[in-house]
Amino acid sequence: MSVQEIECKTALSASTLPGLTYSLNPYRGCQHNCAYCYAPNVLRMPREHWGEDLKVKKNIPVVLAHELKKKKPGVVGISTVTDPYQPLEQKFKMTRFCLEQLLQYDFPVHIQTKSALVIRDIDILVRFSASQVMFSIGTLHDNERRLLEPQTSSIQERITALQDCARAGLKTAVFFGPIYPTTSVNEIPEFLDIMKDAGVKEIWVDILRLKPGMLENIQKTLIKDRQIHQLFSKQMQKPMEYYTSIREEIQKGGKERNLRIIDAF
């Protein structure tokens, strides 16, 4: 793994994602190395180097501080093409330093992560007028998570972190996506119950969207477990038929549990 400290020229970028005004990415590349990640396509980085070629934007808190003096207030998404709480954050703290700057101007923040490390920054997040922590969870099965998201927090660690955030009074949400094709319709009620018990009131739903090179990378990863690979491949033969039944069950279950269900894209 290569870690390089670099300097950036800008911190905030205009975002076209729903509900976000700006995006803030303290790192380039992501140590989590999720097999299905779309970011290599967006950043035009070789997929084989994803998770191995990492850059720390060491001056981003300073650049951000200057930009905040001029920017119109709006929701800042942290992050959109990297995970702000990947393992590197434990050492470099770029995300925490950026949050400190954002708090000075009280810009609303929306954090999306797969890491329980976010609970370290609850002390800052509770001081914002508006902040939200969203955990990406695509499966309840940690053996599948270990294959496709090798450096992320376990599913249980994320659920526990959600509970911690909710108890602290933070608005929380779950990004149920990409939904693993190994998920059955019968598992949806359990998933919804677990998230509701964790204090979540909002669940965003998204399917597995295959960008160039993504399917090959997933299959190469899943070859380590024949059973998961076969089930995954079977469901991907008719993806929209599969996801339609999953979405119908999520909408139905969400209504029954008073959960807000949102189609992500």
CATH of the domain at 237: 3.20.20.70
CA distance 32 to 50: 9
Helix, strand and coil content of the chain, in percent to the nearest 5, comes to 45, 15, 40
Residue ranges with strand state E in 33-142: 53-57, 76-78, 109-113, 131-136
Total number of domains constituting the chain: 1
**Terminus-to-terminus CA distance in the chain, angstroms?**
33
Residue ranges with strand state E in 69-130: 76-78, 109-113
Question: What's the order of all strands across the beta sheet hosting 76-78?
Answer: 12-14, 22-24, 76-78, 109-113, 131-136, 171-176, 202-205, 260-263
pLDDT tens for 13-52 read 999 998 999 999 999 999 999 999 999 998 888 888 888 8
CA angle 52, 5, 63 (to 5 degrees): 125
Q: How confident is the model at residue 146 (pLDDT cuts 50, 70, 90)?
A: very high
Q: How far is CA 152 from the centre of its chain?
A: 10
Share of the chain above pLDDT 90, in %: 82
- The crossing angle, in degrees rounded to 10, of helices 155-167 and 188-197 is 40
The residue among 102, 105, 62, 45 whose CA lies nearest residue 79 is 102
Residue ranges making up the domain that contains 23: 2-263
What per-residue confidence (pLDDT) applies to 265? 66
Structure-token match 């949050």, residue found: 99
Task: Give the predicted TM-score (pTM) of the model.
Answer: 0.94
Does residue 82 surpass a pLDDT of 90? yes
Query: Amino acid identity, residue 108?
Result: P
Helix and strand numbers, DSSP H then E, in the chain? 11, 11
The residue among 185, 81, 170, 184 whose CA lies nearest residue 125 is 170
My answer on whether omega of the bond before 79 falls inside 30° of 0, hence cis, is: yes
Q: Which of 26-40, 143-157, 181-195, 201-215 has the lowest mean pLDDT?
A: 201-215
Question: Could you tell me which residues are beta bridge partners of residue 109?
Answer: 76, 131
Provide the mean pLDDT of the chain: 95
